[in-house]
Amino acid sequence: MAASGLLREEDLRALTAVVEDGVRDDPGPAMPWAVLHRLNQLVPAEVVMFEEANLRNRQSVADQFLVDGEHQDAFIGPEPEVPPEVWAAHAAFLPYTYWARTGDVAAVRWSDFYSQTELKNQPHYDLIRQDSTTRYGIVVPLPAPAGWIRKVGFFRTHRDFSELDRLALQLLRPHLHAVYLDAERRRNGVPYLTRREREILQLVSQGYSNAEIAGTLFIAVATVRKHLENIYNRTGVRTRSAAAALALPPAASFSATPVVAGASPR
């Protein structure tokens, strides 16, 4: 990418290709593999990862890795019991809790929080360095239900990620979320839903409670519950997040106007 603090037109075309390839590719186990490959071209790294976890239940739901440009076995579904110290190390690692602590959805680098010396003293780093020489990371959070986390991570050994890397990933963030939801929808089939049901699912995907949905749409809470019951019966899903994933379209395309890189997060 350009080194001037601007994204050029060719950079923006590369961003658009991430989305376009994602909606054309097989939906994959969690994120379409084409998305991880395109991301790896856009922001080169030894490892590109998609992860989803239920933090409340301490349960990993999806781990998908591209390592040195090659697919690694993706883990999908409830993972066998993970030692408590792994979850404790994850919870104590500041780059992984930044969004929950601040409400800011910025892409964050490990170096935003730790020097190399400080990083090596983190329990999380002790766990990953058992089979890796990773020293630098940047992580992009995607929307997820309360108590869950979805993120795309990039990891390197020899050099840190730049502000342009951060800017590109931040611009892609809502589109990566849309591609993920589109992949979920294609994996599970696209059921017929009424306009009102789709409105409700849009609000569910944004984290609204039944009462908040009722207030927004000027309907009764009991009506919201009935719509959700109909959606569950029609789609065969049993959770709010899974139902929302069936109904949301991919994001729109990008503008070709160069963008000035913004300030880094705290």
Please write the tens of the pLDDT for every residue from 196-235: 887 888 888 888 899 999 999 999 999 999 989 888 876 6
Report how far apart, in Å, the C-alpha atoms of 155 and of each of 81, 128, 202, 250, 257 are.
25, 11, 33, 27, 29
By the 8 A CB rule, do 168 and 42 touch?
yes
Closest by CA to 31, choosing from 49, 53, 55, 47, is: 49
Residue 94: count of CB within 10 angstroms of its CB: 15
Q: What are phi and psi of 147, to 5 degrees?
A: 85, 0
What is the rounded average pLDDT of the residues 113-134? 82
pLDDT computed for residue 250 by the predictor: 43
By the 8 A CB rule, do 76 and 110 touch?
no
Confidence class for position 83, pLDDT limits 50, 70, 90:
confident
pLDDT computed for residue 184 by the predictor: 82
pLDDT computed for residue 245 by the predictor: 66
Residues 5, 264: Cα–Cα separation, whole Å: 12
By the 8 A CB rule, do 185 and 244 touch?
no
pLDDT computed for residue 163 by the predictor: 94
Task: List CB contacts of 256: < 8 A, sequence separation 6 or more.
Answer: 9, 12, 13
Residues 44, 32: Cα–Cα separation, whole Å: 18
By the 8 A CB rule, do 19 and 253 touch?
yes
Across 48-57, 180-189, 219-228, 248-257, the highest mean pLDDT is recorded for 219-228
Global pTM value? 0.71
pLDDT computed for residue 176 by the predictor: 92
pLDDT computed for residue 130 by the predictor: 57
By the 8 A CB rule, do 90 and 96 touch?
yes
**In the 3-class helix/strand/coil scheme, how is the chain assigned residue by residue?**
CCCCCECCHHHHHHHHHHHHHHHHCCCCCCCCHHHHHHHHHHCCCCEEEEEEEECCCCEEEEEEEEECCEECCCEECCCCCCCHHHHHHHHHCHHHHHHHHHCCCCCEEHHHCCCHHHHHCCHHHHHHCCCCCCCEEEEEEECCCCCEEEEEEEEECCCCCCHHHHHHHHHHHHHHHHHHHHHHHHHHCCCCCCHHHHHHHHHHHCCCCHHHHHHHHCCCHHHHHHHHHHHHHHHCCCCHHHHHHCCCCCCCCCCCCCCECCCCCC
59-67 and 70-71 beta bridge pairing? antiparallel
